[in-house]
Amino acid sequence: MHWVEEDAGKTQHGEGISRAPAKAKTKLFNLIVKQSGARPMKFSIPAETAAKARQYAAARWPLAEIEVVK
Protein backbone atom coordinates (compact mmCIF):
# COMPACT_ATOMS: atom_id res chain seq x y z
CA MET A 1 0.00 0.00 0.00
CA HIS A 2 1.35 3.45 -0.92
CA TRP A 3 0.33 6.82 0.43
CA VAL A 4 -0.39 9.51 -2.09
CA GLU A 5 0.68 13.01 -1.14
CA GLU A 6 -1.73 15.30 -2.97
CA ASP A 7 0.49 18.37 -2.56
CA ALA A 8 3.74 16.60 -3.51
CA GLY A 9 4.99 17.99 -6.80
CA LYS A 10 2.38 20.75 -6.89
CA THR A 11 3.75 24.04 -8.22
CA GLN A 12 3.18 27.37 -6.51
CA HIS A 13 3.17 30.67 -8.38
CA GLY A 14 2.98 34.31 -7.44
CA GLU A 15 4.95 37.31 -6.32
CA GLY A 16 7.38 36.38 -3.55
CA ILE A 17 6.77 32.66 -4.18
CA SER A 18 7.97 31.94 -7.71
CA ARG A 19 9.35 35.39 -8.55
CA ALA A 20 10.75 38.44 -6.78
CA PRO A 21 8.40 41.11 -5.44
CA ALA A 22 7.81 43.99 -7.87
CA LYS A 23 9.90 46.65 -6.06
CA ALA A 24 12.74 44.35 -4.93
CA LYS A 25 16.33 45.11 -5.93
CA THR A 26 17.33 42.09 -8.03
CA LYS A 27 20.05 40.77 -10.28
CA LEU A 28 19.90 37.99 -12.85
CA PHE A 29 20.81 34.46 -11.72
CA ASN A 30 21.38 31.48 -14.02
CA LEU A 31 20.19 28.07 -12.90
CA ILE A 32 20.25 24.49 -14.14
CA VAL A 33 16.98 22.65 -13.47
CA LYS A 34 17.21 18.85 -13.60
CA GLN A 35 13.91 16.98 -13.66
CA SER A 36 13.56 13.22 -13.59
CA GLY A 37 13.23 11.82 -17.11
CA ALA A 38 14.04 15.11 -18.84
CA ARG A 39 17.17 16.84 -20.10
CA PRO A 40 18.64 19.56 -17.85
CA MET A 41 17.19 23.00 -18.55
CA LYS A 42 18.95 26.38 -18.33
CA PHE A 43 16.79 28.96 -16.58
CA SER A 44 17.50 32.63 -15.77
CA ILE A 45 15.53 34.52 -13.15
CA PRO A 46 15.87 37.92 -11.45
CA ALA A 47 16.17 37.48 -7.68
CA GLU A 48 17.53 39.23 -4.61
CA THR A 49 20.06 36.47 -3.77
CA ALA A 50 21.18 33.08 -5.09
CA ALA A 51 19.21 31.39 -2.30
CA LYS A 52 16.05 33.25 -3.33
CA ALA A 53 16.64 32.31 -6.99
CA ARG A 54 16.83 28.65 -5.95
CA GLN A 55 13.67 29.08 -3.82
CA TYR A 56 11.73 30.64 -6.72
CA ALA A 57 12.79 27.82 -9.06
CA ALA A 58 11.86 25.18 -6.46
CA ALA A 59 8.36 26.69 -6.26
CA ARG A 60 8.00 26.23 -10.05
CA TRP A 61 9.60 22.76 -10.20
CA PRO A 62 9.23 21.25 -6.69
CA LEU A 63 10.57 17.77 -7.57
CA ALA A 64 13.59 19.00 -9.56
CA GLU A 65 17.22 19.31 -8.59
CA ILE A 66 18.26 22.97 -8.91
CA GLU A 67 21.80 24.28 -9.26
CA VAL A 68 22.89 27.93 -9.36
CA VAL A 69 25.63 28.51 -11.97
CA LYS A 70 27.87 31.51 -12.54
Give the global pTM. Answer: 0.80
Give the model confidence (pLDDT) of 19-39 as tens digits.
999 999 999 999 999 999 999
Residues 33-53: what's their mean pLDDT? 96
What pLDDT sits at residue 54? 96
Better pLDDT: 1 or 64: 64
What pLDDT sits at residue 10? 76
Give the rounded percent of residues in the chain with a pLDDT score beyond 70: 87
- What is each CA distance from 58 to 27, 28, 50, in whole angstroms? 18, 16, 12
Q: Domain map of the chain by residue range?
A: 1-70
Q: What's the length of the chain?
A: 70
